[in-house]
């Protein structure tokens, strides 16, 4: 990935040929900006003010206007930042995406960016860099005709910014992980198989000197992973249980130990309960977005190297149809000895996670976080911009939710109503794998997972609505968003 290069400018510089000048404008009640005192006065009065008046630009967050002008710069981009008192990290991230996309449309390889004094704040600088790096992601792997004629942004010059290369480097490490997750989710299921996820984990282990253990089907059978293996039965693709581990070099103190688990169903046909109608079977390549987020987090953590021990766990498989596929009504036994009646083979993700949760807890970790495109019910409840968060430990839930406003990856705490577990009652087994058909599907799914964690602090993130977008948005192209990577890494670094 060729990311744009950042440079820090202490005073107004003449941009290179074919570059442009991006100005952040705060929204004012009278729609007239008055915070441009750092821009040279002739440029402000001769170019910016007329452009604002002619376009009716108000500085409302998310708005932009561009113009060619006869001045020291040929192209000007005005970027709305909204009310000055409400500017936060996500404002900066979205503004960066706006700048990047405007430069691409203008075919400008470089841009001078002037956002008043906002770049003097490390958090705002980091968020702006993240927005640029996320917007720069372009996936043309499966196209025969590349967009070779387009000129993509190569240089970003920050005006009146405190020089801080380490912050830019941190932003790049984090977004490299997020963009890895996007690449995995975007790729078709005939490319991203369980074996390919295992190969990706192998490459991460080699690049960042991580420990790696990949359990084959026979290994999982010896560990009694009947829930996970029941999902694998209908597929010709061999399952791969992936366990990556980052351990800090410093052993002066006992570092916190965290397990991150991602649902890794690389294609979900629904099994014998085949997905039909509006179930969007054609998009079920993204049912491994939890696994992608975990591998993306491994990429970022391996590069950043925090003083925490992190385990990355994925029970990868396909959920397919064949003569050997698990049948509705079958009973399977998970690795903790609990028996499960398979009421619906399309509720497969929770079966893979069940054995992964048992495995993680046996590692003696302090906290477990799982991410999964688990239920359509969470999309009904929260839409496409928020993930549902469930858990057994309020402190862990709160620490994860605190990362949301910093990363723009939104979460909303959902109730874990224990009485709803009665809807998963089975006559012949300890539980069924689905609850009532009348509602609360995301809650009963979380309650099912809870049965496989005994004592460890645990959080479940249902990310089904957030991992894919049909339309471009700010710093995202259409397709995979990489949701969860930045949230996890921020939480690890700041908790």
Which residues does the annotation mark as catalytic? Answer: 275, 350
Please, where are the H alpha helices in 402-495?
A: 403-407, 441-450, 485-494
Strand-pairing partners, residue 114, are 23
CA angle 271, 485, 368 (to 5 degrees): 70
Assigned token pair, 95: 């503004």
Assigned token pair, 492: 């690890």
Closest by alpha carbon to 229, among 356, 55, 406, 380?
356
Closest by alpha carbon to 415, among 392, 434, 396, 449?
392
| Cβ-based burial of 148 (10 A; exposed 0-12, middle 13-18, buried ≥19) | exposed
CA distance 309 to 259: 9
* Cβ partners under 8 Å of residue 195, min gap 6: 237, 238, 240
Closest by alpha carbon to 241, among 224, 206, 205, 217?
217
């Amino acid at each position: 990935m060729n990311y744009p290069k950042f440079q820090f400018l202490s005073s107004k510089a003449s941009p290179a040929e074919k570059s442009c000048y991006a100005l952040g404008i705060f929204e004012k009640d009278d729609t007239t900006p008055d915070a441009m005192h750092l821009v040279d006065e002739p440029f402000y009065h001769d170019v910016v003010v007329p452009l604002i008046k002619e376009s009716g630009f108000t500085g409302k967050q998310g708005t932009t206007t561009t113009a060619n002008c006869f001045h020291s710069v040929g192209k000007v981009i005005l970027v709305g930042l909204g009310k000055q008192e409400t500017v936060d990290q996500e404002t900066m991230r979205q503004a960066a995406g706006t700048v990047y996309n405007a430069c691409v449309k203008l075919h400008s390889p470089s841009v001078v960016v002037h956002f008043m004094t906002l770049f003097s704040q490390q958090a705002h600088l980091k968020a702006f860099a993240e927005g640029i790096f996320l917007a720069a992601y372009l996936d043309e792997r499966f196209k025969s005709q590349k967009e070779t004629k387009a000129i993509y942004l190569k240089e970003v010059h920050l005006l009146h910014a405190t020089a801080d290369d380490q912050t830019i480097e941190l932003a790049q490490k984090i977004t490299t992980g997020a963009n890895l997750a996007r690449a995995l989710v975007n790729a078709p299921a005939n490319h991203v198989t369980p074996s390919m996820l295992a190969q990706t984990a192998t490459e991460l282990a080699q690049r960042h000197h991580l420990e790696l253990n990949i359990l084959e089907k026979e290994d999982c059978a010896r560990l009694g992973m009947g829930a996970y293996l029941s999902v694998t039965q209908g597929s010709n693709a061999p399952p791969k249980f992936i366990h990556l581990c980052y351990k800090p070099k410093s052993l002066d103190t006992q570092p916190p130990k965290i397990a991150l688990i991602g649902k890794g169903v690389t294609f979900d046909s629904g099994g014998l309960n085949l997905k039909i109608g509006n179930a969007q079977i054609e998009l079920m390549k993204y049912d491994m977005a939890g696994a992608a987020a975990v591998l993306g987090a491994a990429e970022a953590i391996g590069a950043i190297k925090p003083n925490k021990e992190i385990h990355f766990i994925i029970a990868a498989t396909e959920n397919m149809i064949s003569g050997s596929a698990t049948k509705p009504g079958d009973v399977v036994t998970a690795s903790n000895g609990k028996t499960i009646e398979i009421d619906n083979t399309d509720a497969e993700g929770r079966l893979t996670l069940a054995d992964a949760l048992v495995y993680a807890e046996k590692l003696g970790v302090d906290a477990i976080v799982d991410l999964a495109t688990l239920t359509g019910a969470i999309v009904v409840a929260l839409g496409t911009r928020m993930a549902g968060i469930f858990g057994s430990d309020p402190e862990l839930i709160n620490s994860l939710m605190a990362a949301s406003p910093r990363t723009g990856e939104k979460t909303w705490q959902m109730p874990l109503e224990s009485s709803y577990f009665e809807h998963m009652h089975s006559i012949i087994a300890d539980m069924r794998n689905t609850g009532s058909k009348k509602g609360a599907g995301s809650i009963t799914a979380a309650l099912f997972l809870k049965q496989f964690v005994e004592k460890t602090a645990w959080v479940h993130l249902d990310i089904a609505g957030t991992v894919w977008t049909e339309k471009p948005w700010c710093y995202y192209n259409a397709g995979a968003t990489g949701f969860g990577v930045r949230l996890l890494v921020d939480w690890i670094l700041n908790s």
